[in-house]
Each structure stands twice: as structure tokens, then as C-alpha cells.
Amino acid sequence: MLEAYTWLGRSLATIGQAGWHRAEKIVQTLSPPFIKVDGLEAINFGSNDYLGLATEYRIKMEAIAAIDQHGTGSTGSRLVTGHRQLHRDLERSIAELKGSQAALVFSSGYLANLGTIAALVNNRDLILADQYNHSSLKNGARLSQATIREYSHNDCQALENLLKQQRRLYRRALILSDGVFSMDGDLCNLPQLLNLSQVYESMLLIDEAHATAVLGGTGGGSVEHWGFSGVEIVQTGTLSKALGSLGGYVAGSATLIDYLRNRAASWIYTTGLSPGDTAAALKAIAIVKEEPEHLQRLRENISYFCNLLGTKAQSPIFPVVLKKTTEATELSLTLLEKGVFVPAIRPPTVPTSRLRISLMAKHEKEHLDYLHELLVRYIQKH
């Protein structure tokens, strides 16, 4: 290895010594909620496909028809040759689901956050961000070159203190928060965030990645859950979790969306979302709107699992926080050997190692009973 690159090996060794080394596993899709992980069949408790739509027959057929008609790629950026009627239809459908005037579809949720944040603020501005925000919000904030102040997780008093001290020193301010926190499963306190954003004349961006098609009466997300549909909030999210496709979006006022079309670099200078992914997401939203039973099933599973654990939950995400990194990886492996897949999530993704259980509408009660039984056995043994 050339001298200039030798630090890579040393750095990997340090990551390994900390027990943080990661590598992907080969996952085979079976009928949900089942998968094969490294050849072992298991009930999947690690998916973001909360409604099981990624393998839905009607959605697959829409994607195939779109590929048949438009080809596999969009072949250009949206402002040049990559815009199809399908994109417009999907954006209308997202706006309707979100109770907003308009929406813009990006190639991923990550890119939606990067592009939106960097377009809304710059080095004359202030960002206030929850410390547990997703990586895409954190990196979007860095990219923008705004001054970043993090507040402790869900601590609205800390946020208010920061706004009181700092807001007047900057031109614009932007508050950033996950709607549902991806690794903890709790919700941000949207009523308070909204109130503070209004009092301190700040923009508010909520990442709805884990809330869309999961929370709210019609699956509109945490904004709908809290009763703020139609309120001027910048909502970002992904098409790749409960909607089972790929891509991301921003929903908000028509002016915001038109501005982003002209200023969001991660939308302007990249190829439009592929026809297959676009059509799949469009059909998934139609199914969420027309068939509330999927959401209902997921909610029943959440409440059944809460009863088993004797706990309360606000989303399908249940963290099992463990003391040591090795404990998380060992428990995940033990569960896999017993036919249950629950991923171990370790630093730097989270401050404390954990198993992240995620429920799906496709789980049967017996699957939840079995996972519960394995966890109880583990706790009794340790």
C-alpha cells in the first residue's frame, strides 16, 4: 500500500478495537415479515418497510409498467430531460397526503435534507437542532455553513434558551428535528417546536422519514398526528420506508417548492428519480389512502407489543438499550440463530449501543409473542 494510504488500515484497526466495525449482510427477501440473513431464515424485526408495501404485488406491477413505458432511468436532471408526468403526479399526491400546497421529489431522503437545508440558510444564519437528529439533517446543517447550535434531545426549554440568547444575532433561523426519532422511536414535541418557531420568527423543518404512512389519521405523518396539517412547516421525508420505494421529498408552501426548484443543488444537479421508483411510490400512497387497514394493523401490533412489554410507544420503533457494544452484537446474533432478526445499532450511529426492534403490519401476534419470549429469556439469564 502506498504511504499516503496506510492511515486507512490503522483507522480501521481502531474502529475494530472499539467493537464498532461494520459490514453488510446479504439479505434475501422472502414474503414479509420473513427474510433470510446470511442464509438463515428469520422473522424480520429490522425493517423500515412498516406496512410491508415493498413487496406488494400491485406496486411491483406499477413499477414494471412504468419501466416498460419510460425505461429504467430518467436519463437527465429534472430541469433538463428527466421530468415525467409521473413525477408531477407523485408530487401532487405527496402534497395531498401532507396537507401542504406543493411537494418536490428528490432521489433520496438524504438528498432532500441536504438540498433543502443548504438552500434555506447560509453563513449569516442560525440552525437549532436536536442532538439526536438523523445524519442527513446534521450534514445538511454543516453543508449550509450556518452557525449550528444543538439542544439536548427533545429539550424545548434548552431550545428556547438558545433562541432567546442567539436569535437576534442572525438573519434567518431554522429549527431542525426528526418527527419520529429513528433510533429511539419517540416523537419530537411538535406543538412546542411550532410555538417557539413562531415566537422567534424561525423556520421549522421536520423530517418525517419514519412518520409518513405510519402516524396520523390518514398516514400523513407526525404533522397530521399533532393536528398541524396545512400549517406552514417544511416537511421532508423518504419514499423508502413505509412507502416501500426509493426517493425523498420536501412538502410545503408553493413558494418554498418553487424556490427549492431554483436553489436546491441536490435536486437541480442530479438525475430525476427513476420511473420505476416514482410509479411505485405513487401507487403506495394510493394504497395507504384507500386501504386504512394496513395502518390499522400496524397500530394493533404496536399496542399488542406494548402490552407484552408493559410499556408505551409512540411509533413502531422499540429500542433495547444495552450497556456494552459487544452485548448488542451478541444478542442480535443469538436472536438470529433462534429465527429472529433484530439489528444491533452501535456508535457512532447512536450514543449507546442497542437493538432496534421495528414492527410491521405484516407481523402476526405469534411473531411478537416469540420475540417477547426470547427477550424475557435473555433478561432472566443476564
Ligand X SMILES: Cc1ncc(COP(=O)(O)O)c(C=O)c1O
CB of 339 to ligand X, least distance (A): 26
Residue 242 CA to residue 238 CA, distance in Å, equals: 9
CB of 113 to ligand X, least distance (A): 6
- CB atoms under 10 Å from CB of 290, counted, come to 9
CB of 240 to ligand X, least distance (A): 4
CB of 53 to ligand X, least distance (A): 15
Which one, 241 or 294, has the nearer CB to ligand X?
A: 241
CB of 369 to ligand X, least distance (A): 28
DSSP for residue 271: B
Which one, 220 or 367, has the nearer CB to ligand X?
A: 220
Burial of 134: CB neighbours in 10 Å, binned 0-12, 13-18, 19+: buried
Beta strands in the chain (DSSP E): 27-29, 34-37, 40-44, 102-106, 126-130, 147-151, 173-178, 203-207, 234-238, 248-252, 317-321, 340-341, 344-345, 354-358
Which one, 146 or 242, has the nearer CB to ligand X?
A: 242
CB of 152 to ligand X, least distance (A): 18
- CB atoms under 10 Å from CB of 229, counted, come to 19
CB of 310 to ligand X, least distance (A): 27
Which one, 93 or 240, has the nearer CB to ligand X?
A: 240
CB of 307 to ligand X, least distance (A): 27
8 A C-beta contact, residue 176 and residue 151: no
Which one, 139 or 325, has the nearer CB to ligand X?
A: 139
Residue 284 CA to residue 142 CA, distance in Å, equals: 33
Which positions lie near ligand X, rule CB under 6 A? Answer: 108-110, 113, 134, 136, 178, 182, 207, 209-210, 238, 240, 248
Residue 299 CA to residue 312 CA, distance in Å, equals: 12
Which one, 135 or 152, has the nearer CB to ligand X?
A: 135
Of 121, 100, 107, 230, the closest CA to residue 173 belongs to 121
Residue 41 CA to residue 357 CA, distance in Å, equals: 17
Which one, 50 or 200, has the nearer CB to ligand X?
A: 50
Cis peptide before 33 (omega within 30 of 0): yes
Which one, 63 or 209, has the nearer CB to ligand X?
A: 209
Cis peptide before 351 (omega within 30 of 0): no
Give the SS3 label for residue 319. Answer: strand
Pairing of strands 102-106, 248-252: antiparallel
Question: Which residue has the CB atom at the shortest distance from ligand X?
Answer: 109
